[in-house]
Amino acid sequence: MTTAAAWKRIRVASTCVRIRVHYPRHAWSLAVYFLASSFDRAMKKLEESLDFLQRHEEKLWFWGVDRAEDMGFSAEFLREVGMRLDKRTEFPRKAASLTVAPNAP
């Protein structure tokens, strides 16, 4: 799983964190975002989000690509953990990039 993350302060006490994940096994990408009230909270939520996106790759792919007509399920699934689908097409050029090793079975 390859990930790019970008954060931007959008109000005095709010930060928007955008994540674009590329899953090489199925050759597809997913863009999500979340809001956080502080930098520390954003970093904690980023860690939790990456873990969630890695653990649920198969379910997200199934409902997001294989069953694309029912994308509402993926949106609801992400919303339950505080993330939203990011429908913006452009991603910030100054984004941190990292590669996460696959989970061992």
**Per-residue pLDDT reduced to its tens digit, 33-49:** 999 998 899 999 999 99
Q: Tell whether the model's pLDDT for residue 67 goes beyond 60.
A: no
Q: Tell whether the model's pLDDT for residue 104 goes beyond 50.
A: no
Contacts of 88 (CB under 8 A, 6+ apart): 18, 31
Stated pTM of the model: 0.77
The predicted model gives 56-80 an average pLDDT of 73
What is the rounded (10 degree) CA torsion for 100, 92, 35, 102? -10
Looking at per-residue pLDDT, the higher value among 37 and 8 belongs to 37
Minimum mean pLDDT among 4-13, 53-62, 74-83: which range?
Answer: 4-13
